[in-house]
């Protein structure tokens, strides 16, 4: 049974068709949610939420784009909105952490370049970070990213270029001793 | 090292950033299936044609606008509030309450894992607990068993959080573990999200009540 038939059946409330659609796409959705959230519980919640919303809104899927494109647009929306909420709540705590980092010196406390890179990625503006993770880490094309984030392909390319430049800048002092 | 080499190594190292574990396929499906089960079988009943869907959407927005407009105008003290306006107000209040509760519990769970619980969660839980009890007594909860069950679970979880000590670092790890277990086992966050309308409705509720 092809995907169009599965969608038709899922629209009619067929649980087996929903499961088949889930099986076909869950790995990529979960991986993206995890890359963006960095937390298994949040990634699970976001993945579940994305599929539930997708199944509930199947009537609005017109088939002009691929189902995976439509599903990833829902996923990125769920994940980014969810992360903003968590970030707001944890803002105060993060401020305290940053103050501690400044007091003790980040360079000395984080000799591992991967840890520095992780922090540099965390510090990227949301748009740059999302595009960088989708393109360079998870292998999405600029067309897929543009559709998922509702931006032009050129915007996706520009954001990726700026993200890479910011990371290079943040890590340039490690260029000689990368491990 | 050239910029090109640095960028290439950077991309390689980035693969380790938030590296996902194996997809917990069955666990997630069990929850999705549980959330979807009551809604299946209703598919297709409201499958409107696009033009009709737009019409209904516009009508709904207009109705909401009229309802909100009336709510913002002060009525004479003795004037009774029509049932329809009460329903709109209740729906908005419920959406806003769900939104705040979901954000608080998601933050609580994330913090609980680090072992450093922000004491503001206790104060937020007290505030939300009062609202939860008011909502449990509302006609909407009385007539909706699903909503009532969710509010019951939320009341339990929030009450447990309010019992935690509010000094940073003084909370009992065992208590926190029980609370997060209750959240997981009852699928509270997922049910909360399933009951919350999508973005625009939430935004509309902000600051209205």
Q: What is the pLDDT of residues A69-124, one digit of tens each?
A: 999 999 999 999 999 888 777 664 555 555 555 444 444 444 577 888 999 999 99
Q: Where are the domains of chain B?
A: 99-197
pTM of the predicted model as reported, rounded to 2 decimal places: 0.57
CB count in 10 Å sphere of residue A128: 21
Which stretches within B80-172 are classed as H helix?
83-114, 120-136, 139-143, 145-162
The label of the residue with tokens 């960028």 reads: B7
| Residues constituting chain A | 179
The closest of A95, A84, A86 to A125, measured between CA atoms, is A84
Residue pair A144/A86 in contact by the 8 Å Cβ criterion? no
Q: Which residues make Cβ contacts (< 8 Å) with residue A82, sequence separation at least 6? A: A37, A42, A45, A46, A49, B106
Res B199: pLDDT: 40
Q: What is the pLDDT of residues A128-170, one digit of tens each?
A: 999 999 999 999 999 999 999 999 999 999 999 999 999 988 8
Q: Buried (b) or exposed (e) across B91-114, using 16+ Cβ within 10 A?
A: bbbbbbbbbebbbbbbbbbbbbee
What ipTM was reported for this prediction? 0.83
**Which residue in B has a C-alpha nearest to residue A26's C-alpha?**
B25
Instruction: Report the alpha-carbon angle A139-A142-A143, nearest 5.
Output: 115
Residue pair A87/A97 in contact by the 8 Å Cβ criterion? no
Res A141: pLDDT: 95
Which H/E stretch holds residue A70?
Answer: helix A67-104
Interface test with B, best of A93, A116, A128, A140 (most B CBs within 10 A): A93
Question: How big is the A-B interface in CB pairs under 8 Å?
Answer: 155
List domains and CATH numbers for chain A: 1-95 (1.10.1740.10), 105-173 (1.10.10.10)
- Shortest alpha-carbon distance between residue B76 and chain A (Å): 39
């Amino acid at each position: 049974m092809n995907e169009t038939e599965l969608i038709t059946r899922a629209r009619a409330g067929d649980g087996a068709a929903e499961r088949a659609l889930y099986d076909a796409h869950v790995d990529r959705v979960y991986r993206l949610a995890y890359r963006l959230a960095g937390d298994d519980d949040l990634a699970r919640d976001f993945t579940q939420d994305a599929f539930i919303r997708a199944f509930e809104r199947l009537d609005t899927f017109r088939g002009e784009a691929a189902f995976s494109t439509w599903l990833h647009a829902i996923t990125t929306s769920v994940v980014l909105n969810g992360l903003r909420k968590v970030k707001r709540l944890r803002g105060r705590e993060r401020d305290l952490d940053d103050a501690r980092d400044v007091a003790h010196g980040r360079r000395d406390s984080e000799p591992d370049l991967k840890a520095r890179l992780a922090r540099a990625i965390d510090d990227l503006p949301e748009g740059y970070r999302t595009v960088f993770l989708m393109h360079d880490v998870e292998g999405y094309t600029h067309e897929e990213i543009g559709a998922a984030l509702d931006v032009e392909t050129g915007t996706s390319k520009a954001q990726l270029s700026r993200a890479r430049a910011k990371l290079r800048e943040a890590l340039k002092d490690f260029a000689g001793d990368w491990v | 090292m050239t910029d090109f080499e640095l960028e290439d190594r950077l991309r390689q190292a980035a693969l380790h950033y938030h590296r996902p574990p194996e997809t917990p396929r069955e666990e997630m499906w069990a929850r999705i299936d549980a959330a979807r089960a009551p809604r299946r079988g209703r598919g297709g009943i409201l499958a409107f044609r696009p033009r009709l869907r737009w019409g209904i959407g516009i009508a709904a927005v207009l109705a909401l606008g009229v309802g909100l407009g009336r709510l913002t105008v002060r009525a004479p003290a003795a004037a009774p509030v029509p049932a329809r306006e009460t329903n709109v107000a209740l729906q908005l209040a419920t959406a806003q309450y769900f939104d705040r509760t979901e954000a608080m519990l998601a933050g609580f769970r994330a913090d609980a894992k680090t072992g450093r619980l922000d004491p503001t969660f206790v104060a937020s839980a007290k505030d939300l607990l009062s609202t939860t009890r008011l909502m449990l007594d509302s006609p909407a909860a009385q007539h909706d068993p699903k909503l009532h069950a969710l509010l019951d679970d939320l009341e339990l979880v929030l009450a447990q959080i309010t019992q935690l000590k509010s000094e940073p670092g003084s909370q009992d790890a065992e208590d926190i573990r029980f609370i997060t277990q209750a959240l997981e086992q009852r699928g509270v966050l997922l049910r909360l999200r399933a009951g919350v309308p999508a973005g625009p409705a939430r935004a509309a509720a902000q600051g209205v009540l």
